[in-house]
Amino acid sequence: MKVKGAQILINALEREGVEVAFGYPGGVVIPIFDKLYDSRQIHFYLTRHEQAAAHAADGYARATGKVGVCIATSGPGACNLVTGIATANMDSVPMVAITGQVKTNLIGNDAFQEADITGITRPITKHNYLVKRVEDLARVVQEAFHIARTGRPGPVLVDLPVDVSNSEYEDVLPEKVSLPGYKPNYEGNPRQIERVAEAINAAERPVIYAGGGCIISDCCDELRQLAERAEIPVTNTLLGLGSFPGDHPLSLQMLGMHGTVWANYAVHHADMLISVGARFDDRITGKVSAFAPDAKIVHIDIDPTAISKSIPVDLPIVGDAKRVLRKLLPLIKKRHHPAWLAQIEEWRRKYPLKYGADGLRPQYVVEKIWELTRDRDTVITTEVGQNQMWAAQFYKYARPRSFLSSGGMGTMGFGLPAAIGAQLGRPKSLVIDIAGDGSIQMNIQELTTAVRLKLPVKIALLNNGYLGMVRQWQELFYKKRYSQTDLEDNPDFVKVAEAFGARGIRVTRREDVEPALREAFRLKECVMLDFHVTREENVFPMIPAGEAVDRMIGGMA
């Protein structure tokens, strides 16, 4: 029996197991939304901006490990997805974005609400499709999900002209996906694995450098076994937080520009650096020529293009981190490194993360959130800026998929819609967006979404009246010339929250932080906690961009 292309699309999504999708309707996607109306499997959630739909799909994917789905109309709707797609692409998040397009015979004629979205998104997607024939649609959707979730995950865009949505064809179940040019390598070279084991067994000052790929591949148990068996300290990238328990004795916490002193010093003085699922980005390496200068470097990654892209690697292994570590573990000898761990402990004691005891400090707020939620199933999302770094430094993430943040793209406005997606994906979890007063306003309209869906998302707003991270750079490197970073004209966020139907709580004193958090966590509704924190607090330690570890500033006294 023949059905319309829009129905073929919905059927294909259902076959892929899609239960949740986000987006915003528009002219050329009306046929899709008409068929979506009848789906008993797919729960569609209307956001108030397409960018937020992409971030919500992203947050859902990061929190659950499933493919996130978002839908938007042509032209401005599709273009509004771009920032969210780019965010997912940088952070290897599986997503399928479905966009409407003008009729095939109008493509290239500057038709109303036409945009070349496949051309626009080609650099920021893992792959994309413009579907010009209805008979290709079922196959394309199947391929899109396969590409999005396999190998190094990423976003795939499917652009669907409205005449294809309205065309009729038989909904035939496609055969197994066959993409001859796309064959991710999962297993890892056996001889390379043996060489890596030999090097680890011989190392005296080893460090494991674990990235977001550990969470994607679900190798956190194997990672912990490796660290404990060979007594190797573990440092995490921003997106790797939670892959190794932050309160474990071998945890060095985060490394890089705003990482701990002891993590950065350990990497700098290591004789063996074992990178698992990380890509050596510039916020980690700083000055490339001075990064881990004495270390033999192992790099385990499923993406062959990531190997030696930024840092020359001595022992590369292309493969899935979980499968590689499972083969590596039996070859690893039980080791102890008392002198090395003692040195790291000395750095930890001498250069702790710290902050002032006067006033309401943002670090104190994050620490209190951690103390009150450490034994609960909690997901932390963040906006971007100082709030993001304090959330990374002062909350000790014990489980994977408990920290969701825009890493590679650094996208302001990510946290609230990502929290909505995470809450829908994990309804029993406590979901908290640690936010800044600048970033939260990028997608603050999504308070309506949270309230309408009766989601108990909490927003911990670290309100310092500045675009804090830019102001910090202006203070340190531009002689305190605070150009366009003062936000003293911010709205009353408590009233804003209440106007959207959420609960607003203002906190101005240190002693009120814990009671306010307890009250917010007790309430089964969306709550915005407006913490008026010290205005010119800085994130330390800090390695200036492009500098080496020995140029670290702050946190050194």
pLDDT per position as a tens digit, 171-182: 988 888 999 999
pLDDT over threshold 60, residue 273: yes
CATH fold of 2-170:
Rossmann fold (3.40.50)
Strands (E), 226-269: 234-236, 251-254
pLDDT over threshold 70, residue 25: yes
Query: What Å distances lie between residue 191 and 432, 493, 509, 550, CA to CA?
Result: 45, 59, 60, 37
pLDDT in tens, 42-82: 999 999 999 999 999 999 999 999 999 999 999 999 999 99
Q: Residues near 213 by Cβ (< 8 Å), separated by ≥ 6?
A: 92, 152, 240, 276, 277, 278, 301, 302, 321
Q: Which two tokens stand for residue 84?
A: 């969210």
The DSSP output letter for 406 is -
Distance CA 340, CA 231 (A): 10
Chain mean pLDDT for the chain: 97
pLDDT band for 550, please (50, 70, 90 cuts).
confident
pLDDT over threshold 80, residue 556: no
pLDDT over threshold 90, residue 349: yes
Q: Is the dihedral of CA 70, 73, 76, 78 positive or negative?
A: positive
Q: Using an 8 Å Cβ cutoff, are 543 and 256 in contact?
A: yes
pLDDT in tens, 205-262: 999 999 999 999 999 999 999 999 999 999 999 999 999 999 999 999 999 999 999 9
What is residue 555's predicted lDDT score, i.e. its pLDDT? Answer: 67
Question: What is the CATH architecture of 190-350?
Answer: 3-Layer(aba) Sandwich (3.40)
Residue where the block lists tokens 């917010």: 520
Q: Residues near 154 by Cβ (< 8 Å), separated by ≥ 6?
A: 88, 89, 92, 93, 94, 95, 125, 126, 147, 148
Task: Report the residue count for the chain.
Answer: 557
Number of neighbouring beta carbons within 10 Å of residue 524: 8
Predicted structure pTM score: 0.97
pLDDT over threshold 70, residue 37: yes
Number of neighbouring beta carbons within 10 Å of residue 454: 9
pLDDT over threshold 50, residue 35: yes
pLDDT in tens, 366-416: 999 999 999 999 999 999 999 999 999 999 999 999 999 999 999 999 999
What is residue 77's predicted lDDT score, i.e. its pLDDT? Answer: 98
Distance CA 78, CA 57 (A): 15
pLDDT in tens, 300-322: 999 999 999 999 999 999 999 99
Type of residue found at 436: G
Domain boundaries, the chain: 2-170, 190-350, 362-532
What is residue 173's predicted lDDT score, i.e. its pLDDT? Answer: 82
Higher pLDDT, 154 or 557: 154
Class of domain 362-532: alpha beta
What is residue 549's predicted lDDT score, i.e. its pLDDT? Answer: 85
What is residue 131's predicted lDDT score, i.e. its pLDDT? Answer: 98
Share of the chain above pLDDT 90, in %: 97
Higher pLDDT, 176 or 525: 525
Distance CA 81, CA 236 (A): 30
pLDDT band for 557, please (50, 70, 90 cuts).
very low
Are both 190-350 and 362-532 of the same fold? yes
Query: Which strand (E) or helix (H) includes residue 273?
Result: strand 272-276
What is residue 58's predicted lDDT score, i.e. its pLDDT? Answer: 99
Pairing relation of β-strands 168-170 and 2-4? antiparallel
